Amino acid sequence: MSNGHQIATTILEQLGGNTFIAMTGAKHLLHGTSELQFHLPARTAKDGINAVRIELLPNDSYKMGFYKIRSRGLKIDVIASHENVPAEALRSLFTRETGLDCTLGTMKG
């Protein structure tokens, strides 16, 4: 397993792993040397966000980018970008920016 694949796997686990994928509909997961990228189903996230990129920074924090890709990938709008995000804040920031829950919540009765 390459280092880039290990980093992407760790990022996915920090987001919630397979539960994250099921809850958000994330698809087309790709990894580079130090990042995880994926698409979200059309019209599910707020502000039209349909792509996310999470990059591991040298200081062991993350850079998160939220994008709206239009016109068959010819136009990319940056909806939000955050740097120095600690691992424990990945889920809450993802939810805040997209409006999508990462994991199953507890039932309140």
The per-residue pLDDT for range 10-66, each reduced to its tens digit, is 999 999 999 999 999 999 999 999 999 999 998 889 999 999 999 999 999 999 999
Mean pLDDT of 61-81: 91
Indicate if the pLDDT at residue 107 is higher than 50: no
Q: Could you give the CA distance from residue 70 to residue 7 in angstroms, rounded to a whole number?
A: 28
pLDDT value for 42: 84
Q: Read off the pLDDT band of 73 (50, 70, 90).
A: low
pLDDT value for 1: 66
Q: What is the pTM for the complete model shown?
A: 0.89
Q: What DSSP state is assigned to residue 93?
A: H
pLDDT value for 14: 95
By CB neighbour count within 10 A (0-12 exposed, 13-18 middle, 19+ buried), where does 69 fall? middle
For residue 106, give both structure tokens. 């507890």
What is the length of the chain? 109
Q: Read off the pLDDT band of 108 (50, 70, 90).
A: very low
Indicate if the pLDDT at residue 90 is higher than 50: yes
